[in-house]
């Protein structure tokens, strides 16, 4: 069955760049979306359609796509960016989430 694969964890120091990947066979044909979720809170959409940023999301969040892998990049990571991040892909038949990546800011 189709899956989206994310690394379980990524660690970076403040001010560095964090890159979180998401791999899946359908990604060349489907857009990817990224969500940030902090403990006890609902997810927040931070990237849509591979690389678009919703209003109100800081410019340090960006997305890119290459073949079967999409990447969420957080430039100049701040302590407040520590959270779980989930990728999502979808088409008319349904939606799938990746397993999530815990971003730790050292």
Sites of contact with other proteins (CB under 8 A): 31, 33, 35, 37, 42-45, 48-49, 54, 86, 88-100
* Separation between Cα atoms, residue 99 and residue 106, nearest integer Å: 22
CB of 87 to other proteins, least distance (A): 10
Least separation in angstroms between CB 16 and other proteins: 25
Find the shortest distance in angstroms from Cβ 15 to other proteins: 28
Largest CA distance in the chain: 40
Q: Report the residue number, 13 or 41, with the smaller CB distance to other proteins.
A: 41
How many residues appear in the chain? 106
93: Cβ contacts below 8 Å, ≥ 6 apart:
none
Give CA–CA dist 98/78, Å, rounded: 23
Nearer Cβ to other proteins (17/49): 49
Nearer Cβ to other proteins, position 14 or 54?
54
**Spatial contact of 22 and 98, defined as CB atoms under 8 Å apart:** yes
Q: How far is the CB of 9 from other proteins (least distance, A)?
A: 13
């Amino acid at each position: 069955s189709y899956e989206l694969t994310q690394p379980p964890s990524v660690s970076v120091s403040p001010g560095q760049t964090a890159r979180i990947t998401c791999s899946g066979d359908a990604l060349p044909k489907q857009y990817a979306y990224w969500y940030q979720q902090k403990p006890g809170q609902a997810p927040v959409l931070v990237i849509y359609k591979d690389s678009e940023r919703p209003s109100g999301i800081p410019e340090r969040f960006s997305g890119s796509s290459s073949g079967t892998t999409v990447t969420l990049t957080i430039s100049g990571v701040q302590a407040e960016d520590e959270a779980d991040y989930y990728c999502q892909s979808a088409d008319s038949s349904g939606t799938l989430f990746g397993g999530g990546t815990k971003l730790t800011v050292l």
